[in-house]
Amino acid sequence: MSKEITITGGNFESEVIKSSVPVLLDFWAPWCGPCRMIAPFLEQIADEYDGKLKVGKINVDEENELAIKHNVASIPTLAVYKNGVQEFIQSGALPKNQLEGLVQKYL
């Protein structure tokens, strides 16, 4: 079972801003091919780094206000929050080794 968390406007503060561990956010949509391509990598990272990192999924179709707040113009967009502060944001799919490098940087 995946350790990924669905992030919404209602739980953003508690799951991301107040998180005691870094949070990797994936802004995605079900119809997005590149989003589906990186989904298995994100699921693996969520499992491998459980307890050290959260992986949150934000469906931009359902959570448009969060996407606008983060200036998400294309998907997938990945963001990292640490200690309640956005430390990184980038649009585009990344291979698993680059995703792991990104995660390692913020642990």
Catalytic residue numbers? 32, 35
Tokens for 80, please give them.
């990292």
Closest Cα to residue 27, out of 83, 82, 86? 86
Chain centroid to CA 107: how far?
Answer: 15
Looking up tokens 């913020």, which residue turns up? 106
Closest Cα to residue 107, out of 43, 42, 57, 50? 50
Helix or strand (DSSP H, E) at 103: helix 96-106
